[in-house]
Chain A
Amino acid sequence: MNYSQSKSPFGIILVLALLSGAMALPVQAADSVAIAGRLKLSGEYGLDRQSVEDGPSLSARLMLDGRQAAWQIHTWVEGGWDGTVDEQQQDQTTIKRFDKVYQANTPYLDFKEFYVDQELTGIDCRIGVQRFAWGRLDEYPINDLFNPWDYRQFIVKPMEERKIGVPAVAIGTSRQDWTYQLVWVPWFVPYRLPEPGNRWSMTPTITAGPDSRAMEVQPREPDLPTRTVENSSIGFRIQQLGEIEWAFNLFHGFDPRPVFKTTALTVAESRTGLVIDPGYVPSFQRITAVGLDAATVLGSFSLRTEAAYTINRAFNVRQEFWGYPAVPALGTTSLNSIVIESATLDYGIAADYQPLEDILLTIQAQQTLILDRPDSLFERAIETLLWANLKTDWLNQKIETSLNLAYNPEHGANMTKAGISYVFTDSWKADINALLLHGPPQSIFGRYAMNDQIGLEVIYQW
């Protein structure tokens, strides 16, 4: 893909810096070194013939932990062949970068986590590529804002695989029932988006050109915020244990949710046909979020809740207001401004219930209140997401079934995910799953309504 390639050596410098840190830990003399890994072969069969087909993927995960006294080094690297990458759009690089939105690498190598940790006098200091998990809710945690997501195969991937590790400094300590954590992310890392035309693309796809010539849609890589202290993200979490565990969260930094701004629609001629710049780029918005979360046990139920008030959150207006012409003409067409800003209040509650030893039922309800909502927004003033998951183990945990339902009542959008796994041995496992999505085109699930699919995974772990 011919996106503007950033020549920043940031990724390489980061890897070298962390490797230097790793070298400082004499692994041969470490108290313990543990290596774990996973191989996964996966593929999907699209049920809708009009949808874009993905090829099979083969990925490997390697996790290495070395410890010596108060020092620890942790690495989680993933790599392999990504079947969702279109050969025509393939990137030339292998290592996933921390400064690009559109990345179509196959084969690829991704540092999900890579950090050095030292605990001295009860203070834990962790430096490197990290993932965080603030808040209590599943799937869409409200206060979990440090890690942007990789939206390639969004919804199919579990949340922990969607999260992109960010270079960060995290300092934590505990005093009796109190735990404190301070996180600083010095450099902005953008979310990763599938290219327009990809099966999981989340933006409008231009299907008609000015004539019948072949079209290549090339989105522009956005200019990232400069790497200054002003543009870093910072957060503080304080938690108290007790009958009710609660935590206060403060975050100031870039919103990990994708929003776009328009540039100009450009249609140009090339040797092979037409090249179209769709005229929008990701827009990165700084927000401040103040949140609370809590958990307790009530009888047989484990209850979890969280809420956050967010200032300056950005939204895109409905796609019919973006200003696209019915048929794009050769040349440049200006588009409308599509970003609006509003404060939001997010809140949600979840309950886990285990009626029998091998059955776990989780139900969750969450809402977003958009406090200054204009009529041009697709989202309503209150957006609700209801979510339920039933997980059951059978035959000595040899078979695991799961049924996951999600419903957005404001737009009648819904998702059904069902899966069955068979555990051959402690290392080998196979999984068949089905995904059904329904709703209006711009809704959270409806935008992927053509992506109903049956998936197969074979996993080997050691």
Chain B
Amino acid sequence: MNKILVFDFRLLILAMSMATILFASAPAHAMSGRQVYEKVHEVRIKSLNRQTEFAMTLFDKGGGTRSRAAVEYCRKTGPEAYKVLVVFKTPPDLKDVGFLVHARTFTDRDLWAYFPEFKRIRRIPTNSQDDSFFGSDFSYDDFGGPPNLDEYSFTILREEVQDGRPCYVVEVTPKVRRKWNRYVAWVAKDLFIHLKIEYFKDQEPYRAGTFTDVRIVDDIPTPFKMRMENVKTGHKTELTIESLRYHTSFPDELFTQRSLERAGK
């Protein structure tokens, strides 16, 4: 009987020691990784009624650059549904080239492109969430996290300060097939937006980006400067927001093929 009691006592000490070690190595966070990304999605959904003018510079490995400037109109049409019209203003060969997106959810969207010289609207497949954001090094995930949270697992690795802001450093791993195996994102604890992101493909760094010049516009936090590099190719994109308005209420007619042909005018 005593033997049993002695054994139980030792077991209890062992369990307590292990628990102490575990707690010490995995600090308690106020939120889980999944909850962090639920908040990221909330911010994304809040920002869906907007007008943005942006400029993009694409850098190749040899230092060559190409520039684009465009205006984007966005309208929220459902819980995760939205419509977007993007019209390029420069360079000259892209002027008035437009893209129209009708998204039923963050994962399911239709895309059309319009080329004014040809006067033709062309439907474009968008079955991949890894599609580039209008020819840049950005993908849609970079701005608002993965599309369907149930298809990803989230682990908070640590907390860290990035650009003077405390961040959750979250590892995001897809359960579905993506171009990458995982990414690590620095999510601002007070704003729930990405400040830094690093993608890995076959355990090798694949893409890396930063989101800076964060401003609060109409109560919505927004990075005005974004930079993304394809580590494999050395190709980089810098995206700068030149003007931004939230809480817009564009009519549905702005997001039609006729409007696409008229460059949104």
Contacts and interface: CB of A to CB of B under 8 A. Distances in A.
A133 B118 contact: yes
B180 to A, nearest CB: 15
Interface stretch (A280-288, A299-307, A440-448): A299-307
Interface in B96-131: 110, 117-120, 122-128
A36 B89 CA distance: 11
Interface stretch (A9-17, A194-202, A395-403): A395-403
Contacts of B66: 396-398, 423, 426
B135 interface: yes
Interface of A: 32, 34, 36-38, 67, 72, 122, 124, 131-133, 159-160, 172, 174, 179, 239, 241, 245, 295-297, 299-302, 304, 352, 354, 357, 395-398, 423, 426-427, 429, 461-462
B59 interface: yes
Given A396-B60, A397-B135, A179 B257 contact: yes
A297 B123 contact: yes
A426 B93 CA distance: 8
20 contacts: A34-B95, A72-B262, A122-B253, A159-B118, A160-B118, A174-B256, A179-B256, A295-B122, A297-B110, A297-B127, A299-B127, A302-B123, A354-B125, A395-B62, A395-B64, A396-B61, A398-B64, A426-B92, A429-B93, A461-B92
B132 interface: yes
Closest A-B pairs by Cβ, 4 of them: A396-B60, A461-B92, A426-B91, A133-B119
A41 B127 CA distance: 41
Given A426-B66, A426-B67, A427-B91, A396 B118 contact: no
B90 interface: yes
Nearest to B102: A241
B125 A299 contact: yes
A7 B188 CA distance: 75
A231 to B, nearest CB: 25
Given A124-B258, A296-B123, A160 B64 contact: no
The DSSP consensus for interface residues of chain A is: strand
Contacts of A172: 258
A34 B93 CA distance: 14
Contacts of B110: 297
B92 A427 contact: yes
Interface residues of B, number: 34
B235 A396 contact: yes
B125 A300 contact: yes
B235 A133 contact: no
Interface in B242-265: 253, 256-258, 262, 265
Contacts of A295: 122-123
Contacts, number: 87
Contacts of B91: 426-427, 461
B119 A132 contact: yes
Nearest to B115: A160
A32 to B, nearest CB: 8
B58 interface: yes
A432 B58 CA distance: 25
A142 to B, nearest CB: 14
A115 to B, nearest CB: 12
A239 B120 CA distance: 14
Task: Specify which of A122, A300, A302 lies most central, judged by the most chain B CB atoms within 10 Å of its CB.
Answer: A302
A158 B257 CA distance: 24
Interface in B223-254: 235, 253
B60 A38 contact: no
A302 B66 CA distance: 28
Nearest to A130: B119
B92 A38 contact: yes
Given A132-B119, A357-B132, A426-B66, A396 B93 contact: no
Contacts of A241: 257
Given A295-B123, A300-B125, A354-B125, A72 B235 contact: no
Interface string B56-73: 001111101011000000
Contact of B258 (A37, A179, A395): A179
B122 A302 contact: yes
Given A299-B127, A396-B235, A397-B66, A160 B119 contact: yes
Contacts of A72: 262, 265
A275 B60 CA distance: 61
B123 A160 contact: no
Contacts of B62: 395
Contacts of A352: 122, 124
Task: Specify which of A34, A297, A396 lies most central, judged by the most chain B CB atoms within 10 Å of its CB.
Answer: A396
A32 B119 CA distance: 21
A352 B113 CA distance: 13
Contacts of A297: 110, 123-127
A38 B95 CA distance: 12
A397 B235 CA distance: 11
A333 B123 CA distance: 55
Nearest to B265: A67
Contacts of B118: 133, 159-160
